[in-house]
Structure 1
Amino acid sequence: MFSATLRSRAASSASLQSRSLATAAAPSSSSSGEPLTHYRITLRRSAIALPMNIKGTLAALGIHRRLQTVFHRHTPDIAGKILTIKELVTVENVPESAVRTKWEQRQERKASRGYEVAGSKLGAEP
């Protein structure tokens, strides 16, 4: 009787531990072998008419516009902020090589020029 109770407690604590590890923000390996170290957070829904604490959380994360994307390291305080606004954002875990600055994101969105400059007559000698 005593050993059966002990086994059931050990099994329940093992399942609890595996459940907590599954929900933790610990970095895991991606298909390329790099550890996932950052969150890619994109605001999908507007914060208009929401309470000031939600708007303040968005501002603390650096999100000001809908469809804006920001990157943050895996930390407990960022994870808590994400849980506060989870209905408004989409979150992906990405490796450090996928992190882009604001300027890099803008350059990726820019359209190509549509032409290539072959030469210039201004620089040619007569």
Structure 2
Amino acid sequence: MSSLFRLSPSPSPKILQKALARSLATATSSLEPKTHFKITLRRSAIALGERKKETLVSLGLHRRTQTVYQAHTPEAAGKILKVKELVEVENVPASAVRTQTEQRHERRASRGYAIAGSRLKGLQWERTKP
């Protein structure tokens, strides 16, 4: 009977913090006005014409699964309509807009450990001279 009740390891505080931040973001995003397009390139434009490729570059999309944020403007909407078969578009508030660096840090896996301290700091050659 003990095999039926296995305890799963509890999630790390960092994972819980990220989940809480996501839930708060979705709760507050429903109240905020949608001001940006979240555009993700889902299909490749390899076999398509130069005009479609140039449109993707002008949107800032270079690789598949790359995500960029564009403000709601008629120009951006027209570009999206030109390549609508290749991209996935979502309306998001300004608070959900992420830079490339922020997106990279969000994707990065946790280290799996924490550094508590170092014993090397107490060594003789590490001490400062008075």
What are the ranges of 5 or more consecutive residues in structure 1 without an aligned counterpart?
A: 1-29
Identical residues among aligned pairs (%): 65
Separation (CA, whole Å) in 2 of partners of 1:96 and 1:63: 20
SS at match of 1:123: helix
* 1:1-126 aligned within 5 A: 32-124=30-122
What are the ranges of 5 or more consecutive residues in structure 2 without an aligned counterpart?
A: 1-27, 125-130
Separation (CA, whole Å) in 1 of partners of 2:85 and 2:47: 14
Separation (CA, whole Å) in 1 of partners of 2:30 and 2:78: 28
Separation (CA, whole Å) in 1 of partners of 2:105 and 2:98: 10
Calculate the aligned-residue CA RMSD, in Å: 1.3
Separation (CA, whole Å) in 1 of partners of 2:55 and 2:82: 8
How far has the Cα of 1:125 moved from its partner?
A: 5.2
The residue type equivalent to 1:89 in the other structure is V
Separation (CA, whole Å) in 2 of partners of 1:64 and 1:31: 28
How far has the Cα of 1:124 moved from its partner?
A: 2.4
The count of aligned residue pairs is: 97
The two structures have a TM-score, normalised by structure 1, of: 0.74
Map Cα deviations across residues 53-78 of structure 1 (whole Å, 9 max, x no partner).
00000000010000000000000000
Separation (CA, whole Å) in 2 of partners of 1:107 and 1:76: 31
The residue type equivalent to 1:70 in the other structure is V
How far has the Cα of 1:99 moved from its partner?
A: 0.2
Runs of 4+ off more than 3 Å: none
How far has the Cα of 1:31 moved from its partner?
A: 5.6
Separation (CA, whole Å) in 2 of partners of 1:38 and 1:31: 12
How far has the Cα of 1:32 moved from its partner?
A: 3.2
The residue type equivalent to 2:59 in the other structure is L
